[in-house]
Amino acid sequence: MRFARLADSEKIPRVPAHRAFDRLLPLALAVLSVATLVPLRRALNTHYSSVVTKHDVYPLPPPKQTVVLSLGYRAALADLVFAHVLVSYGFHFQEKRNFEFVGNYLDAINELDPKFERPYRLTDTLLTIQPRSVSPKSYRKAREILERGMKEFPFDAALWSSAGQFLAYFAPGGLKDPAEQNEYRLAGGRVLAHACELVGDDETIPYHCIVAAGLLSNAGAQEASRQFLERVLMVNDDPEIRALAESALAKNVSAETRDRAQARYQLFQRVWSSDLPFVSQGAYLAIGPDFQAAACAGRSVDCATSWRAWGEAHDAPSAQPTD
């Protein structure tokens, strides 16, 4: 009896036929779907691969209308458009075709968020480094956007240095007109010169200063080169940089002019040590020279209220600071 009850309790319940069919139907449909999609996918992939995109389509309205389209979320839309630009730039390289409307996208981003710095930094790369060679128009567009960025960030040393290097070294190679090439080199030299006067973390910028002076000199701006090198000597106390600046100055000016600049620097050192020796040279240049207010009633070197005026007043090697 005990074994009979045990056998009865271990009997497997029978599943009705309609329930077994309900369980097997989804599995059968899944297998059938996979078996159908595999050959279809192969045919669709072959057809998709044979289609070649030849031209881009620009979907945004003009920049000012794009601002209205943002409904007030200008920075968010600028981020979204810039992300699309970076992804599309990679896809265009993969497809080995140029990104036609990257300049239009950058214009829209700049209009949406003029203080968005990253697009300015990548402008020259996005516009001129393409899978195929680009026209001079792309180099001019890059310069236009870079100048817009330098206007928005007048004290960004890294941006000015990057823009100066593009204008001075890279862009002239993409232009055809020799006069335009020289103008770009001169503009690049001026931009690099301004970058040298800004405070930044890039330790290579002072070396670009010497190159900028050479670009100005080669472009015929001898006086601008001389003034710039003299400013480099005044604001830089690195012996290596000073030696390079003095060597470049010696090639561009006469011995008398070089001696006058050296004398002016020595005079500045004496004024600094006698006035505020406990501050750094950069801080002292920011503070400005000491002057006698009463002396400003007449023409006197004691009335120089800026270092530019002080340098002009003490332009002779024999000038001596007054106490």
Using the Cα atoms of residue 317, residue 318, residue 319 and residue 323 in order, give the sign of their dihedral: positive
pLDDT tier at 188, thresholds 50, 70, 90: confident
Separation between Cα atoms, residue 53 and residue 41, nearest integer Å:
21
Average pLDDT on 25-43 reads 79
State the pLDDT at residue 321. Answer: 41
DSSP character at residue 92 = H
- Structural tokens at position 291: 């002057």
- Mean pLDDT, rounded, for 274-294: 70
Give per-residue pLDDT as tens, 227-252: 666 666 665 666 666 676 666 666 66
In order, the DSSP letters of 190-202 are HHHHHHHTS--S-
The structure tokens listed for 16 are: 């009705």
Mean pLDDT of the chain: 76
More confident call, 71 vs 52: 71
- Determine contact, residues 93/72, Cβ cutoff 8 Å: no
Tokens 């006086």, residue located: 223
Residue 322 pLDDT class (50, 70, 90 cuts): very low
Give phi and psi for 164, each to the nearest 5.
-65, -40
pLDDT (tens digit per residue) in 72-101: 999 999 999 999 999 999 988 888 889 999
Mapped onto helix, strand or coil, the DSSP state of residue 229 is helix
Q: How sure is the predictor about 42, in pLDDT bands with cuts at 50, 70 and 90?
A: confident
C-alpha distances out from residue 271 to 82, 319, 321, Å:
51, 12, 7
3-state secondary structure of 220: coil
Q: Does the pLDDT at position 124 exceed 50?
A: yes
Q: Is the pLDDT of residue 61 over 60?
A: yes
d(CA 92, CA 89): 5
Question: Looking at residues 51-71, what average pLDDT do you find?
Answer: 85
Contact 197, 209 (CB under 8 A): no
d(CA 318, CA 260): 9
Other C-beta atoms lying within 10 Å of the C-beta of residue 323: 7
Question: Model's pTM, two decimal places?
Answer: 0.63
Average pLDDT estimate for 22-33:
79
pLDDT on residue 157:
84
The helix (run of H) or strand (run of E) holding residue 311 is: helix 307-313
Please choose, from the candidates 142, 49, 48, 132, the residue with its C-alpha nearest in 3D space to the C-alpha of residue 92.
132
- Top mean pLDDT of 25-29, 76-80, 163-167, 223-227 is at 76-80
What is the DSSP code (8-state) at residue 168? I
The domain segmentation of the chain, as residue ranges, is: 60-149, 154-245, 254-323
Question: What does the pLDDT look like over 195-239, one tens digit per residue?
Answer: 877 755 666 666 666 666 666 666 666 666 666 666 666 656 666
Q: What pLDDT is attached to residue 323?
A: 39
The reported pLDDT for the residue numbered 320 is: 43
In three-state secondary structure terms, 116 is coil
The predicted structure's pLDDT at residue 31: 82
- Which of the residue ranges 178-182, 184-188, 290-294 would you say has the lowest mean pLDDT? 290-294
144: pLDDT strictly greater than 70: yes
| Euclidean distance between CA atoms 81 and 105, whole angstroms | 7
Per-residue pLDDT band for 317 (boundaries 50, 70, 90) equals very low
The residues near 162 (Cβ < 8 Å, ≥ 6 apart) are: 121, 124
Residue 121 has pLDDT above 60, yes or no: yes
Residue by residue, DSSP assigns 21-82 as: HHHHHHHHHHHHHHHHHHHHHHHHHHHHHH----S----S--HHHHHHHTTT-HHHHHHHHH
H helix or E strand, kind and range, residue 163: helix 157-165
